[in-house]
Amino acid sequence: PFRTMPGIYELLCGKINVSRLRNVDIADLLRRQPARTNEALLGASLKGKRVLVTGAGGSIGSELCRQIARWQPEELVLLGHGENSIFEALIELRENYPSLTLTPVIADIRHAERLARIFADYRPQVIFHTAAHKHVPLMEASANIEEAITNNVLGTQRLVQAALDADVERLVMISTDKAVKPSNVYGATKRLAEMLVLTAASQNTRAFTVVRFGNVLGSRGSIIPRFKRQIALGGPVTVTHPDMERFFMTIPEAVHLVLQASAMGQGGETFVLNMGE
């Protein structure tokens, strides 16, 4: 076990004594100040709106729902494929926001008719699209390539079409820095999904935008929990390559970026957080 010390200036000023050691927090790995958002802009874009989040049970999707709930939307629809993760997200939100109208929907975004019915029933005005298969090595396996394409590409295409048909005001798709000159199946499927969203924005003059993430610290399936498991087992800690570069952001930063993009986006933009070194 190890702990992190307070800063030397805090010690010298007498604010903190040496006994105030604490566990290392995942945000300590950022080596920069966390990014913040324009809260007034967010309130105007979400308050009183009917909001739908795909992949709402995932680490990004569920945090997105927590943040959206703070802005008092008219209704928040949690759409996901995994019933257990949607159930857990729903229970937490109901405890913290008892007066908020929350609607859990178990559905696969590849099913166009099901999406059409959901959109007709709940008439969302703002959509956050986080649903995707994202594990690079798993999606690289020949047995899973079809699944990656149908979920990430076809699913996005059907969601975008449903949004156009239902006259949705805003759509933000979560993408990845791996979509830049993609060298793997996952990156390629996300690049295609980006193109579908941006094309729909330009052809239909809609406020549909894309947000690209780096590595999100502590998200499900990300590298840091894997490193922690490897260390707990006594090693070795495996890296892709000694020269591999990763750009990190925290889950709250990632979600703030998405919300900011939804408020700022006029349509057709790709937003990227400045993640430092």
- The pTM for the full model equals 0.84
Calpha distance 217→254 (Å, rounded): 10
What digits encode the pLDDT tens for the residues 185-226? 999 999 999 999 999 999 999 999 999 987 777 677 777 778
Closest to 220 (Cα-Cα) out of 66, 88, 59: 59
The phi, psi pair for 242, rounded to 5°, reads -55, -25
CB 100 within 8 A of CB 49: no
pLDDT value of position 43: 72
Calpha distance 172→61 (Å, rounded): 12
Query: Mean pLDDT of all residues in the chain?
Result: 87
Active-site residues: which are they? 178
Buried b (16+ CB within 10 A) or exposed e, 172-188: bbbbbbbbeeeeebbbb
Closest to 67 (Cα-Cα) out of 265, 261, 255: 255
Q: Which stretch of 11-25, 148-162, 251-265 has the lowest confidence by average pLDDT?
A: 11-25
